[in-house]
Amino acid sequence: MTDDMRFYIDGQWVDRPNAAKIPVTNPWTEETIGHVAAGTAEDVDLAVAAAQRAFETFSQWSVADRLALLERVRDLIEERSEAFAQAITAEMGAAITFSRGGQVVFGVAHINAAIEVLRDFEFTETVDGIHIEREPIGVVAAITPWNWPLYQITAKLVPAFAAGCTVVLKPSEMSPFSALLFAQVMHDAGAPPGVFNLVNGTGEVVGNAMSGHPGVDMVSFTGSTRAGVLVAQNAAPTIKRVVQELGGKSPNVFLPDADFAGAVPKGVLGAMRNVGQSCAAPTRMVVPRSRLSEVEALAKEAAEGIVVGDPNDEGCFIGPLANRPQFEKVQALIQAGIDEGAKLIAGGTGLPAGLNHGFFARPTVFSEVTPEMRIAQEEIFGPVLVIQPYEDEEDAIRIANTTLYGLSSHVQSADHEAARRVARRIRAGQVHINFPAWSAFAPFGGYRQSGNGREYGRFAIEEFLEVKAILGY
């Protein structure tokens, strides 16, 4: 990595050599690996104006032309997949095997899903004599997080392009290099000037300018619930659509007949994948009290078997947390769990054994966690799992729903009808029964303070459309 003081606006790279510099830190070495330019409200004005001009023509493109653009984007990302993986590992610390096999692969999966949906998407129909047109909403401001850099870009931008919208992107200033690679992909794929624009910078400056801009028709935001509130408040005066994917505290409910020996280790690894820095991570394991000691032993063994270390090492399962603020937050919440009297099964505060640098957290498991504890309520966003015992099925459902969030959830049971019964009562946007395969077509989004709107597949494209009714057509 090195300094890159450029934005991508109106189809060309724009140098900002005199802009304030934002340092980018490698969380493994704790060293600055480069800088990006800090954008201003004036840069946002230029990008939005370019997107508005481009919308006039791009919104009229045929489905075939949009499909061809998306296919070129996909092919170029696949060709440059190693460059993306290396950038993601350097900027946010994901283990290189996960950057390759997770971060990039799942990012491409969003493009393939949008392509497949777009081929058959009905933008017009006639219902009871009323003609319905589904039209692109306009200019979209996309604000993406640091934990899944490419994945979140493709999850937002590709459905927007499929719908015929133009986009201004602000990636996280903590993981900007993969976004700059994406900008080059858009350029090389032949996206018309203004269809895609990128302005780096902070949320306080660039994010605020985008979400409140009168020329922006919609904001698509992924990040913390706290930041999501600010985005919504800033967008409110211009009455623009705001779609948000925010925090989570996802339960993993084990019914008494579940495959504990197989599913508990999977649950531990699922909670700690990407160093636990996933809003949908199943970080609350809700289990029958009668099986608690068994669950504790299985979870302890799984957590202590996780290989933590240099993210460039192909034998590493998880690397460091993505940045120092996240490291400090995770350490503080682990200490809070200890202070509140939760039973520490594995891990704890401090660095893992044998490591003396990097923003690492020890894979940590708490048991006997009650709903009022901070570690049961707050999104830790680190490799920390809490085990919550229940007395009966009603108690399990109550515990599962006892947070402010409702993004994702899991149910484990050999009785599929029982699993379905519990799944229907969990207040969350997704429920996974017995660890099914991930799908880029399944709608993703939250209840309550986990956000509003849906991403992925058909549901994602629909978010970027307005519905027009024409009577007397």
Where in the sequence numbering do the catalytic residues fall? 245, 279
CA angle 35, 38, 43 (to 5 degrees): 135
- Length, in residues, of the chain: 473
Q: Supply 322's token pair.
A: 């993505």
| Cα(170)–Cα(39) distance, integer angstroms | 9
Residue closest to 358 by CA, chosen among 297, 407, 316, 421: 316
| Cα(268)–Cα(381) distance, integer angstroms | 14
424: number of Cβ within 10 Å: 10
Contacts of 239 by beta carbon, 8 Å cutoff, 6+ apart: none
| Cα(16)–Cα(44) distance, integer angstroms | 13
Measured CA distances, 39 to 53, 117, 132, 209 (Å) = 21, 35, 40, 10
> For residue 197, what are the β-bridge partners?
168
Q: Supply 217's token pair.
A: 């028709």
332: number of Cβ within 10 Å: 12
CA dihedral (154, 160, 165, 169) positive or negative: negative
| Cα(188)–Cα(185) distance, integer angstroms | 5
| Cα(299)–Cα(332) distance, integer angstroms | 22
| Cα(195)–Cα(58) distance, integer angstroms | 7
Beta pairing class for 465-470 and 130-136: antiparallel
Q: Supply 14's token pair.
A: 């724009």
Measured CA distances, 300 to 294, 306, 336, 443, 450 (Å) = 10, 10, 20, 33, 29
Strands (E), 176-228: 196-198, 218-222
Strands (E), 335-409: 343-346, 364-367, 384-390
Residue closest to 410 by CA, chosen among 440, 424, 384, 430: 430
Contacts of 44 by beta carbon, 8 Å cutoff, 6+ apart: 168, 199, 206, 209, 210, 213
- Contact (Cβ atoms closer than 8 angstroms) between residue 443 and residue 317: no
Measured CA distances, 166 to 55, 235, 437 (Å) = 6, 18, 32
